[in-house]
A and B are shown apart, each in its own frame.
Chain A
Amino acid sequence: MIAAKHDAFAALADPTRRRLLELLARSELRVNDMARRFDVSRPAISQHLRVLRDAGLVRETRVGRERHYRLRARPLRHVYDWVRRYEKFWDESLRKLGDTLDRDDL
């Protein structure tokens, strides 16, 4: 599980893979659908998809001879929460700054 966690970050570090995830957030796609939209070969797309799948970021299903891919957003949820916590930290701090500025004994 540790390895998979680290893979999620490595997987997202690549701009092509991030663009693939953006596409997959909209709909389920086949490798050909994705290859058509990128200036990247089909095998290269497959390689990227393998990295994303191993990182738990996409789910692969077989439909006949084809593989369909869809986004699995669960790992992103945690990154999103982390960012939200940072925003909350600053909002809270600015609120406390306002209270502090209002003090007579500053």
Chain B
Amino acid sequence: VKSIHREVVFPHPPERVWKALTDPRILGMWLMEADGFEPRVGCRFRFRTKPAPGFDGIIHCVVIDAEPPSRLTYTWASGKQRSTTVRWQLHPHSDGTRLVLDHDGFGGVAGWVLKTMLGRGWGHKLRDYMPLLLERLAATADNPDGISREGLLECASPRT
């Protein structure tokens, strides 16, 4: 199941985009500080950002695929979250590079909500149901009680 999917065309050649995705100095400019990152399968590294309540600011990653300048995949896990997968694909494009991002593998409640929101793998019934659900969600938005951020981080953990 594809969870978060984005495609962007950049007016730069794949080699330049690849460099921005894999050079820790440049990663720090647009994504996060990447301690110990190398685009090499098996490389364990950490993304580091500002901590927040319920989040120590560290994302633990392992490179599982690296093919310059076209493919880069690493696992992505923070806090109690189950490990998810971030995949970058770089395709030559007439204007430069088409960059495809897929962030997959959300489990539990977060996975269900993602699937539901994006309507992937669900039949026509879902499309009828989702607007209703969102309407109801909007109607309850002002109510402060509910689930803590800790709980939300946990919602991506396995529940088997």
Given A9-B154, A86-B103, A98-B10, residue A77 in contact with residue B140 (CB < 8 A): yes
| Dominant secondary structure at the A interface | helix
Which of the segments B37-45, B66-74, B109-117 contacts the partner chain?
A: B109-117
Secondary structure at the B interface, as helix, strand, loop or mixed, is helix
Known interface pairs A22-B125, A91-B6. Does A13 touch B159 (Cβ–Cβ under 8 Å)?
A: yes
Decide yes or no whether B77 CB sits under 8 A from chain A.
no
- A/B pair count, beta carbons within 8 Å: 117
Given the known A-B contacts A9-B151, A93-B30, are A101 and B20 also in contact in the complex, defined by CB atoms under 8 Å? yes
Q: A79-B110, A100-B29, A101-B20 are in contact. Are A74 and B155 (CB under 8 A)?
A: no
B113 with A96: CB separation less than 8 A: no
Binary CB contact string for chain A from 1 to 28 against chain B (1 if under 8 A, 0 otherwise): 0000110111011000010001001100
Known contacts A80-B117, A83-B110, A97-B20; A73 and B151 CB within 8 A of each other: no
Q: Chain B contacts of A75 at CB under 8 A?
A: 146-147
B128 in the interface, Cβ–Cβ < 8 Å?
yes
Beta-carbon contact of B137 and A77 below 8 Å: yes
Bitwise interface map of A from 54 to 75 toward B, beta carbon under 8 Å scored 1, else 0: 0000000000000000011111
User: In the complex the two chains form, is A99's CB within 8 Å of B109's CB?
Assistant: no
Q: List 30 A-B contacts (CB under 8 A).
A: A5-B151, A9-B151, A9-B155, A9-B159, A12-B112, A18-B112, A22-B126, A22-B129, A25-B136, A26-B129, A73-B133, A75-B146, A75-B147, A76-B137, A77-B146, A78-B146, A79-B152, A80-B113, A82-B155, A83-B114, A90-B101, A94-B8, A97-B8, A97-B20, A97-B31, A100-B29, A101-B12, A101-B16, A106-B19, A106-B26
Name 20 extra pairs, CB < 8 A, besides A100-B20, A106-B26.
A5-B147, A8-B109, A9-B155, A12-B109, A13-B108, A22-B129, A71-B136, A73-B137, A74-B146, A75-B147, A77-B137, A78-B152, A90-B4, A90-B101, A94-B8, A97-B10, A98-B10, A100-B26, A100-B29, A101-B16
